[in-house]
Amino acid sequence: MKIHDQPVEIEHLNRINEYGPDDLFICCAGFEDRCISSAAKMGMAFRARFSVIFVVEDPFYKQQVDTNLFKLQAELGRRTSEGVFVIRCQRDAPTEAINQLKSVWSRCRPKDSDEPYITIDISSFTKIYLLELLHFLVAEQNMGIPRLIHTTQNYAPTRLTRGVEQITTVPNFFGSISLEKDTLLILFLGFEPERALSVWKHFNPARTIGVITSPPRDGKEEYLEYAKRNNARLLSLPSVEVRTVPPDDPYAARNALEGIFQEVKDAYNMVIGPFGTKSQTVGVFLFCLEHPKAQVVYSFPSNYTRSYVNREPGATLLLPMAPVFKT
């Protein structure tokens, strides 16, 4: 597999294993059209022994989810030689979803755990599901980082969710909090200001760093300006400072967190809220893999806006594979 240190746009998705079918293809059937993009771009030679489709059920968009699930099952059925598993789960129950994966893992696990051929389409996973899935594969199964692909979306800047239903620490990312240290809250910010602000109010941290996506994807400066306006209330607080991270490079997000850690490791507990891009959330995972004392928090939205359904798929990106860390 070719190593690269920048996101690469792909038109065709080929298998990783040049000698036979890949071990596993994992994706999520959601209500967004982009969830089927990677399967639609599979080349004629793409084959996997098994596929796993997560279905995060949403009663408001059941028709869209069921339609996309049907399309994924049909496409992956033609590309999968030994079985397609469907894991149905609730939005606020990622642990139960991973338990379902564990129940079939003995059947679909890679033949060689030292050299697994796994691709994950992260496009439609919620961020908490993505963190739990990566933890299971990399931390619990002791495998390397899988090949990750992500289909972006074309849309006018607008709020993606409304309201906050629940604030929680992400399972397996509880960290190790010292009562003798103050809290540094690091919030990756995007188009969901209520969720990020609710976490800030919950923790009332001594210090906050808001991470804004810059440079914006495809040079669309209106995205950056909207994100700043959207989070203006939080960013205007005197205890909040701003840092920037690009949208589609997990290792850049990891390196930014590492830089912050080196600044504050003896003085603060690090608490991270991933409300930016999916790729940045992968970077949060990479950082926590090395620094398990950091805590990751998440707030569930009350509902998703119609803008999710109205957005059209953009480019499909192969995310960086080489762990290019700053020293």
Segment 142-159, tens digit of pLDDT = 999 999 999 998 765 555
pLDDT at residue 69 greater than cutoff 60:
yes
Handedness of CA 136, 169, 274, 265 (dihedral sign): negative
pLDDT on residue 300:
84
pLDDT at residue 12 greater than cutoff 80:
yes
Handedness of CA 73, 134, 94, 108 (dihedral sign): positive
pLDDT on residue 244:
95
Alpha helices in the chain, H assignment, sequence order: 37-40, 62-79, 94-108, 127-134, 193-203, 221-230, 232-235, 250-264, 278-290, 307-310
> pLDDT digits over 206-232, tens only?
999 999 998 877 777 777 787 888 888
Q: Which two tokens stand for residue 268?
A: 């603060």
Across 74-88, 214-228, 299-313, which has the greatest mean pLDDT?
74-88
pLDDT at residue 172 greater than cutoff 80:
yes
pLDDT on residue 266:
85
pTM: 0.92
Task: Work out the percent of the chain whose per-residue pLDDT is above 90.
Answer: 69
Minimum mean pLDDT among 94-98, 145-149, 159-163: which range? 159-163
pLDDT on residue 250:
95
Task: Please report which confidence band the pLDDT of residue 326 belongs to, taking 50, 70 and 90 as the band edges.
Answer: very low
Q: How far apart are CA 175 and CA 326, in angstroms?
A: 23
pLDDT at residue 26 greater than cutoff 50:
yes
Q: Which residues contact 5 (CB under 8 A, 6 or more apart)?
A: 251, 320, 321, 322, 324
pLDDT on residue 302:
55
Residue with tokens 């408001």: 60
pLDDT at residue 304 greater than cutoff 70:
no
pLDDT on residue 249:
94
- Please compute the mean of the pLDDT values over residues 264-290 and round it to a whole number: 95
Q: Which residues contact 25 (CB under 8 A, 6 or more apart)?
A: 48, 50, 51, 52, 76, 79, 80, 118, 119, 121
Q: How far apart are CA 183 and CA 317, in angstroms?
A: 35
pLDDT at residue 267 greater than cutoff 70:
yes
The phi and psi torsions of 46 (rounded to 5 degrees) equal -70, 130
Q: How far apart are CA 270 and CA 294, in angstroms?
A: 5
Q: Look up residue 102 and give its amino acid.
A: K
Minimum mean pLDDT among 24-33, 99-108, 276-285, 306-315: which range? 306-315
pLDDT at residue 306 greater than cutoff 80:
no
Q: What is the DSSP string of 45-105?
A: T--EEEEEEEEEE-GGGHHHHHHHHHHHHHHHHHHEEEEEEEEEEETT-HHHHHHHHHHHH
pLDDT at residue 265 greater than cutoff 60:
yes
pLDDT at residue 61 greater than cutoff 90:
no
Task: Please report which confidence band the pLDDT of residue 310 belongs to, taking 50, 70 and 90 as the band edges.
Answer: low
Q: How far apart are CA 293 and CA 116, in angstroms?
A: 28
How many Cβ atoms sit within 10 Å of the Cβ of residue 199?
23
pLDDT on residue 324:
41
Q: Which two tokens stand for residue 116?
A: 């697994």
Q: Which residues contact 67 (CB under 8 A, 6 or more apart)?
A: none
